[in-house]
Amino acid sequence: MSGIVIVGAGQAAASLAAKLRALGYAGDVTLIGDEPQPPYQRPPLSKAYLLGEMDLDRLYLRAPAFWDEQRIALRLGTRVTSIDRAARTLRAGDATIAYDQLALVTGSIPRRLPDAIGGALEGVYTVRTLADVDAMAPEFRPGRRLLIIGGGYIGLEAAAVGAKLGLEVTLIEMAPRILQRVASEATSDYFRALHTTHGVTIRESTGLDRLEGTHRVTGAILSDGSRVPADFVIVGIGITPATALAEAAGLETENGIKTDAFGRTSDPAIWAAGDCASFPWADGRIRLESVGNAIDQGEIVAANMLGAEIPYQAKPWFWSDQYDTKLQIAGLNAGFDRTVIRQGEGGALSIWYYRAGELIALDAMNDARAYMVGKRLIEMGKSPDPAAIADTATDLKALLKA
């Protein structure tokens, strides 16, 4: 058996495999994942699933019968340890598997704290897999003390769950403000106020010196010398692309597995998509960590594996759910030099990002209309007058026709 082999079992892998069949590919398709579960959604793990609002069956991206019906062979709980590019084989567990074409959709790995400062203590968690969340779920009991390290979206989402479940939550962020790397000051202000209102203690410009505890974490010494007691800790300090397998095989990497515009790596028989892949964007390269990118890029790579030669045109979009606030993000705000704030109805708010007069991104908090219009404007290459955006009398939909 050879055909197409997919290494990874996340959103990109599921989308790629399904698209191969939808496009009429009749050869063998094998999907290999190192977790025991079939492909599942990750975003709800730290929100609805952890809160008990979504059960395991609803996490699955496809019903279990789908994989058999589509003749997609699943090899789960199996780690791929090496690739022999010359022989076009890979080693998965105790088996050697041949491929005609190979897709690497290996995702990303959460950054962990060094063991030297307590990263290996019991009660210290990262949020990435179903096993991660299942392991930490029993910790979420009212009155317990949760320390979150990192003020990005993962940390803030965990803080929201902890607060909703009645925990005493403290979040520390080394940068001067939460979300500093990814959002404007106005967006940071919005979410700081939201969390503070729900009882979360946020300490910015505050790093971690070390965690305390002999076997299990009991607290933390912070960079200002203060001590915070903690019953458990969640580390949300970012992720790195899972490139070890590709690097060992001699594939080119650059902030991820390096691909061309079609998703092809430096080996024409090997492709990459999703969190692990970096691809041409504007005058440089980019790697996107989002469900939308995983789906779209996975499907484009499937088509290109079958000869379509369609360049991937990313349309970045993201979201985050915290309490009753839904944040929707369109575009990429890198290099913005101006923000415009628009007040919506019922407390809704949107932040519009401009660079040299061009609309490049949008953050919308509980404002689906602003998000949809802004996303379309960015995709159309239209940049409305910032004064029109700020004016609540402006009909946003009319801007699409202007």
Q: Do residues 211 and 233 make contact, with C-beta atoms less than 8 angstroms apart?
A: yes
pTM above 0.85, yes or no: yes
- CATH superfamily placement of domain 4-109+239-305: FAD/NAD(P)-binding domain (3.50.50.60)
How far apart CA 187 and CA 327 sit, in angstroms, is: 10
How far apart CA 248 and CA 83 sit, in angstroms, is: 8
Amino acid identity at 104? L
Amino acid identity at 315? K
Q: What is the pLDDT of residues 271-317, one digit of tens each?
A: 999 999 999 998 899 999 999 999 999 999 999 999 999 999 999 99
Rounded to the nearest 10 degrees, what angle do helices 291-305 and 11-22 cross at? Answer: 40
Q: pLDDT below 50 — which residues of the chain?
A: none
Tokens representing residue 262 in the block: 């079609």
Predicted pLDDT at 283: 85
Predicted pLDDT at 1: 56
Fold identical between 4-109+239-305 and 112-235?
Answer: yes
Amino acid identity at 84? D
CATH class of residue range 324-399: alpha beta
Give me the residue spans of the domains in the chain. 4-109+239-305, 112-235, 324-399
Q: What is the pLDDT of residues 131-166, one digit of tens each?
A: 999 999 999 999 999 999 999 999 999 999 999 999
Predicted pLDDT at 156: 96
Q: Do residues 170 and 201 make contact, with C-beta atoms less than 8 angstroms apart?
A: yes
Predicted pLDDT at 2: 80
Neighbours of 311 (CB within 10 A): 12
Predicted pLDDT at 402: 76
How far apart CA 51 and CA 163 sit, in angstroms, is: 11
Dihedral over Cα of 237, 193, 211, 155: its sign:
negative
Tokens representing residue 377 in the block: 């404007």
CATH class of residue range 112-235: alpha beta
Q: Do residues 133 and 46 make contact, with C-beta atoms less than 8 angstroms apart?
A: yes
